[in-house]
Amino acid sequence: MSQIVWIVLAGAVLTYLTRCGGHLVLSRFSRIHPRVEAGLNAVPAAVLTTLVAPAAVQAGPAEALALVAAALIGLRGGMMSLFVGGSAVLIVGRYFFG
Amino acid sequence: MSTDTTLDNPAASDFWAGFRLGVPIFVASAPFAVLFGALAVQNGFTEFEATLMSATIFAGASQMVGIDLFGQKIAPWLIVFSIFAVNFRHILYSAAVGRRIGHWSGWQKTLGFFFLVDPQYAESERRGENGQTIGFVWYMGMATPVYVFWIVNSWLGARFGSLIPDPHALGIDFLLPIYFLGLVIGFRKRPLWLPVVLASAAASVVAYHFVGSPWHVSIGALAGIVLAAAMPLSAEARAAYDEPPVDQTGESV
């Protein structure tokens, strides 16, 4: 097998460990402390924000406009309209701002 | 809460209910899968290796990082470690979602955790938040189209990638942040949402500059989570914790 295949398979094993690891650790405790619970409830917003923030800070005018438009649409509409609307603003913005 | 998802007909409708949630996810992820396949071949992967990576790792951002590093001729263990670092956030997902699937059997958990990607996690949390049971069949119904089309589109990109017009003009490189922003906004009804978002945003931007990618993800996430855990608990939250739903008792794998 090629070196790439070994790299891919090793990456796959480690990725799977992250996808069950948190549960394997947490399931050893029979009761979950309210503060841990509060922390876990913050996980989606906390993690997903870190996937947006650096990109938003480095954004040019077209990207910034797209994020603002997406956020405004998201406050009223659903995920799909947000995604389509934000992408449309991005493409139009890049046409004008390069 | 009380619906039994093991009966035949409800199981079929559960599968399709999940499937419908999976459709916008695979539509949104299709450009990345195609782009990944195209870039992988450009960086020296064969069609088979690119498709294998999508089938076994199934995590877009880390796959992109992996092929990018491979193109730079970096040591193999460092590439593997970078993939692990990018996907490290999934540890938090499995810890969080694990609380809601205590009723799954051992092999259902073993299989289900493989598919725990960002949108899969987000939709599962949303369902749990609405007080609905996260059934295994519903979960796999959502995972199936996402996983299958992730692989198919990666292969299409690897095969026909040279035909893609300028990704910058099409905005493909910035679709992912828009999509993740949508997921963040979807959780805005949660307690402490704004403080958590602000803390994680600030910490991840600072970490991005001083520590570098992909560590800004783990550091930024930790800032928001620690903030939420350190806040004084409200009376309602305390009451809710004192009376957990019956199906969430700590059952181990």
Q: What is the pLDDT of residues B86-95, one digit of tens each?
A: 788 898 899 9
Closest CA–CA distance from residue B88 to any residue of chain A (Å): 6
- One-letter amino acid identity for B102? G
pLDDT band at B251 (very low <50, low <70, confident <90, very high): very low
**In chain B, % of residues over pLDDT 70:** 89
Is there a domain that residue A35 lies in? Answer: no
d(CA A21, CA A78): 32
| A46-70 confidence digits (pLDDT tens) | 988 988 898 899 889 999 999 999 9
Q: Find the domain containing B175 and state its range.
A: 11-80+89-187
Nearest-CA residue of chain A relative to B55? A12
Confidence at residue B60, expressed as pLDDT on a 0 to 100 scale: 83
pLDDT at B168 over 80: no
Let me know if residue B251 belongs to a domain. Answer: no
Give the Cβ contact number of residue A58 at 10 Å. Answer: 12
Q: Are residues A58 and A93 in the same domain?
A: yes
Prior bond of B214 cis (ω within 30°): yes
Domain identity same for B173 and B117: yes
pLDDT of residue A63: 94
Q: Are residues A21 and A57 in the same domain?
A: no
Q: In degrees, to the nearest 5, what angle opens at C-alpha B65 toward C-alphas B64 and B71? A: 90
Predicted pLDDT at B175? 77
For residue A41, CA distances in Å to A65, B74, B87, B188 come to: 30, 37, 19, 12
Encode pLDDT of B99-122 as tens digits: 899 899 999 999 999 999 989 999
Mean pLDDT of the B180-201 span:
90
What domain range includes position A89? 43-97
Q: Write the ipTM.
A: 0.85
pLDDT at B135 over 60: yes
Chain B: closest CA distance from residue A58 (Å): 10
Answer whether A72 touches B (CB < 8 Å): no
Q: Is residue A85 part of a domain?
A: yes
* pLDDT of B228 strictly over 90: yes
Same-domain status, A13 and A55:
no
Looking at the fold, whether B52 and B174 belong to one and the same domain comes out as: yes
B128 lies in the same domain as B211: no
Instruction: Identify the closest residue of chain B to A81 by CA–CA distance.
Output: B182
Asked whether residue B248 carries a pLDDT value surpassing 80, the answer given is: no
Residue B226 or residue B217, greater confidence: B226
Å between B3 CA and nearest CA of chain A: 24
Query: Quick check: A15 and B83 CB within 8 A?
Result: yes
Residues B120 and B226 in one domain: no
The per-residue DSSP string of B61-129 comes to HHHHHHHHHHHTT--HHHHHHHHHHHGGGHHHHHHHHHTT-TTS-HHHHHHHGGG--HHHHHHHHHHHH
Largest CA distance in chain A: 57
Q: Are the Cβ atoms of B24 and A86 closer than 8 angstroms? A: no
A20 and A55: one domain? no
Span of B5-19, B90-104, B120-134, B213-227 with lowest mean pLDDT: B5-19
Q: Is residue A58 part of a domain?
A: yes
Residue A11 located in a structural domain? yes
Of the candidates A6, A10, A42, the beta carbon closest to that of B196 is on A42
Hey, are the CB atoms on B45 and A54 less than 8 Å from each other? no
Q: Indicate if the pLDDT at residue B4 is higher than 60.
A: no
Local confidence band at B1 (pLDDT 50, 70, 90 cut-offs):
very low
Domain-located, residue B3 = no
Contacts of B54 in chain A (CB under 8 A): none
B227, B192 in Cβ contact below 8 A?
yes
For chain B, the domain total comes to 2
- Under an 8 A CB cutoff, do A20 and B109 touch? yes
pLDDT value, residue B241? 64
The overall average pLDDT reported for chain A is 89
Q: A75 pLDDT exceeds 50?
A: yes
Question: Helix A61-76 and helix B175-186: axis angle, to 10°?
Answer: 30
| Mean pLDDT score, B44-69 | 90
Residues of B in contact with A74 (CB under 8 A): 181-182, 185-186
Together in a domain, A24 and A47: no
In a domain, A37, yes or no: no
Higher-pLDDT residue of A37, B52: B52
Indicate whether A21 and A50 sit together in one domain.
no
| Chain A neighbors of B146, CB-CB under 8 A | none
Number of domain units in chain A? 2
The average pLDDT across B130-159 equals 95
CA B6 to chain centre: 26
Residues B116 and B193 in one domain: no
Q: Which residues of A touch B44 (CB under 8 A)?
A: 4
Q: What angle do CA A1, B153, B146 make, to 5 degrees?
A: 100
Q: What is the pLDDT averaged over residues B64-72? A: 77
Q: Contact, B85 vs B219, CB < 8 A? A: no
What is the predicted pLDDT for the residue at B70?
80
pLDDT at residue B138 greater than cutoff 50: yes
Percent of chain B beyond pLDDT 90? 46
Identify whether A24 is part of a domain.
yes
Chain B residue whose CA is closest to A66: B178
Contact A36 B208 (CB under 8 A): no
> Is the same domain home to B177 and B206?
no
Q: Which amino acid is at A32?
A: I
Chain B interface includes A31 (CB < 8 A): yes
Which residues of chain A lie closer than 8 angstroms to B118, CB-CB? 48, 51
Q: Which of A78-92, B110-124, B227-241 has the highest average model confidence (pLDDT)?
A: B110-124
Q: How far is A92 from chain B (nearest CA, A)?
A: 9
Whether B79 sits inside 8 A of A7 (CB atoms) is yes
The most confident of the ranges A42-46, B73-77, B101-105, B241-245 is B101-105
Residue, of B249 and A36, whose pLDDT is higher: A36
Contact assignment for A48 to B116 by CB distance below 8 Å:
no
